[in-house]
Amino acid sequence: MTMPLIIPIFIMHRGCPHRCTFCDQQKAAGPYPDDVSETFFRQTVLSHLQHIKKKPDQVQIAFYGGNFTGMPRQDQTRLLKYAQPFLEAGGVSALRISTRPDCLDKERLDFLKEYGVQIVEIGAQSLVDDVLRRAERGHTAGNVDAAVQLLKANGFEVGVHLMAGMPGDSPEGFARSVARTIAMQPHTVRIHPTLVFTGTPLERDHRNGSYEPLTLDEAVLLCKSALLKFTAAGIPVIRIGLQTTPEMEKRGTVIAGPYHPAFRFLVEASIFFDRAASLLSRGDFQEKAVVFSVCPKEQSAFRGLKNENVRKLQNRFGLSGIRVVPDPAQPAGTLHVHCDI
Ligand code: SF4
């Protein structure tokens, strides 16, 4: 099955017990209304549905950008009711929400199920208690474990969000978060590097020198390692890097941190670079021209941004040339290299 088309509705910090130090949904998601009206909801969903070019297997409506199950019950009911006509008409197949791990219990799950919510994404961010404390998350790694198990036991599809480069985190700490997430066996994962949004407590910490964000290279390295581990564990990583919005692209919105509009592409290109380098280091290709066969849909990730991988490989291994040949017989995620005769 292909990835579902997800129609996001941002609820803008609704239900959040407080602000986590790094978070500003207005900056990350853009100018959404503080309260989602039925008219706004309908228009947003219809405009997404009208612009679908090739119908995916599944269309889902997602309530993101806040703590859904932390909202008063009447607000949850109101929003979920807006979605019911789309579910009944069949244009939308399921609802998903994102929420905090400490705002779930059996009663809340029964309520969500009644309204067609099938997927719950947990904002974990880290599975290291000291890191969670420093970001003022207000929950523990144990809460995440418990939430994931409860959701799975009640038949929900579960997603877990992780962040690289959180205040007080380290590469080892992030690796522990990845390992603990794999042990929980969620259905999907999202990862994004921590960015410093203007106006957040994290901006203050950055300006007073108590928080230094990851560089872009460090963020790519950490997320690459996480992607490889999740993939090996059979857990799809459905997003790497925050969704780029016009708001984020505005000057002064992200004041520091490894922001890149094609962050996932950088991570995947880095994986291909490593694979190609490993193949080249096993043979004698010095001063020779080589041909790489790649799966056609991975050709651009192999080349890297502006052909950077090809240039770097050529320089590092002293090659006289590299030809990249898209080969439908080459399995995805693999490469073959031989001399160009
Ligand atoms: S990270 Fe989640 S819980 Fe924290 S302020 Fe942002 S939306 Fe709310």
pLDDT in tens, 233-244: 999 999 999 988
**Alpha helices, H only, 154-262:** 171-184, 201-207, 216-232, 246-249
**End-to-end CA, the chain:** 41
Mutating to test ligand 1, I would choose from 67, 121, 197 the residue with most ligand atoms within 8 A of its C-beta, which is: 67
pLDDT confidence of 34, banded at 50, 70, 90?
Answer: confident
Residue 27, pLDDT > 90, answer no
Task: Work out the mean pLDDT of the chain and round it to a whole number.
Answer: 95
CATH architecture of 5-261: Alpha-Beta Barrel (3.20)
Same fold, 5-261 and 280-339: no
Mutating to test ligand 1, I would choose from 19, 133, 137 the residue with most ligand atoms within 8 A of its C-beta, which is: 19
User: What integer is the mean pLDDT of 257-272?
Assistant: 97
Residue 99, pLDDT > 70, answer yes
Ligand 1 centre distance from Cα of residue 30 (Å):
15
pLDDT for 31: 76
pLDDT for 150: 98
Residue 68, pLDDT > 60, answer yes
Phi-psi region of 247 (alpha: psi -120 to 50; beta: other; left: phi over 0): alpha
User: What integer is the mean pLDDT of 280-284?
Assistant: 92
Provide, rounded to the nearest whole percent, the portion of the chain with pLDDT above 70: 100
pLDDT for 1: 56
Q: What residues does ligand 1 touch, defined as CB less than 6 Å away?
A: 13, 16, 19-20, 23, 25, 66-67, 100, 123
Can you tell me which atom of ligand 1 is nearest the CA of 66? 7
User: What integer is the mean pLDDT of 283-297?
Assistant: 93
Instruction: Break the chain into its structural domains and give their ranges.
Output: 5-261, 280-339
User: What integer is the mean pLDDT of 66-88?
Assistant: 97
- Angle between helix 106-114 and 141-153 (nearest 10): 50
In this structure, the residue with its CA closest to atom 3 of ligand 1 is 16
In this structure, the residue with its CA closest to atom 8 of ligand 1 is 16
Residue 73, pLDDT > 70, answer yes
Q: Which two tokens stand for residue 69?
A: 């199950």
Q: Count Cβ atoms within 10 A of the Cβ of residue 217 and give its class: 0-12 exposed, 13-18 middle, 19 or more buried.
A: exposed
ipTM over 0.90: yes
pLDDT for 220: 98
Do the beta carbons of residue 224 and residue 165 sit within 8 Å? no
Mutating to test ligand 1, I would choose from 10, 11, 14, 20 the residue with most ligand atoms within 8 A of its C-beta, which is: 20
With b for 16 or more beta-carbon neighbours within 10 A and e for fewer, the 189-199 pattern comes to bbbbbbbbbee
Ligand 1 centre distance from Cα of residue 329 (Å):
45
Can you tell me which atom of ligand 1 is nearest the CA of 23? 6
pLDDT for 332: 93
pLDDT for 93: 94
pLDDT confidence of 54, banded at 50, 70, 90?
Answer: confident
Q: Give the CA-trace dihedral at 115, 117, 118, 120, to 10 degrees.
A: -150
pLDDT for 52: 83
pLDDT for 53: 79
Residue 2, pLDDT > 80, answer no
DSSP string, 203-216: HHHHHTTS--PPPH
Which class would CATH give 280-339? alpha beta
Residue 341, pLDDT > 80, answer no
